A = this chain, B = another copy of it.
């Protein structure tokens, strides 16, 4: 069975998955890199990094993944669709190495990158996007890559089988919230949590009705 999975999705203590004031120079707005410092400090991210619980969770990101779905706000800065040359933040060899479906009202031709990543641009509701991703995932899982609105929409639609959410002990105060509209989420998931020495709390949500 191909599962839909969320990995390494970081929010602040007050539930913001990105800050305010997003731009080409500030992909996470006033949050800066603070939501992801725990990730950058892992061996998975870079040689010499930590090898503990943060690394163990981080490394699950790509295992068994055959496609990703991301929002327009993850793919580019506000207004990227007016830039025909924009190919994402990640250079010529993006760290996905699979087909990536970008959810956007501004469709454009697919872009084939180095290393196996191809960006497809689709305008579809969550269930339809997931179906499209599964068709190219070759039996593997589909990662729901974010941002917060996309993760929230897929959770609300009951389409996520496994979610790894990381709560960073900072209060952002403003930005885009992850948890809105997800009342009663705990009824559908077995939830575990563990504190890392880095100070973040890793939550995993495993769908109860999963076969």
Please tell me if the beta carbons of A171 and B185 are within 8 angstroms of each other in the complex: yes
Q: Is the pair A182, B173 in contact by a Cβ cutoff of 8 Å?
A: yes
Residues 177-201 (chain A) with a chain B CB within 8 angstroms: 177, 179-186, 191-195, 199, 201
- Indicate if the CB atoms of B171 and A203 lie closer than 8 Å: no
A13-B179, A180-B14 in contact; A193/B173 too (CB < 8 A)? no
Separation in Å of the A11 CB from the closest CB of chain B?
10
**Contact (Cβ within 8 A) B171 A186:** yes
Q: Are B171 and A14 in contact (CB under 8 A)?
A: no
Interface size on A, residues (CB 8 A): 27
Indicate if the CB atoms of A173 and B169 lie closer than 8 Å: no
Q: Is A15 an interface residue (CB 8 A)?
A: yes
Residues from chain B with Cβ under 8 Å of A191 in the complex: 169, 199
Residues of the B chain whose Cβ atoms lie less than 8 Å from the Cβ of A74: none
In the assembled complex, A113 has its CB within 8 A of some CB on chain B: no
Instruction: Please encode chain A, from 7 to 28, with 1 for each CB lying within 8 Å of some chain B CB and 0 for all others.
Output: 0000001110000000000000
Residue of B174, B184, B192, B194 touching A171 (CB-CB under 8 A): B184
Query: A14-B15, A179-B14, A194-B195 are known contacts. Are A186 and B169 too (CB-CB below 8 A)?
Result: yes
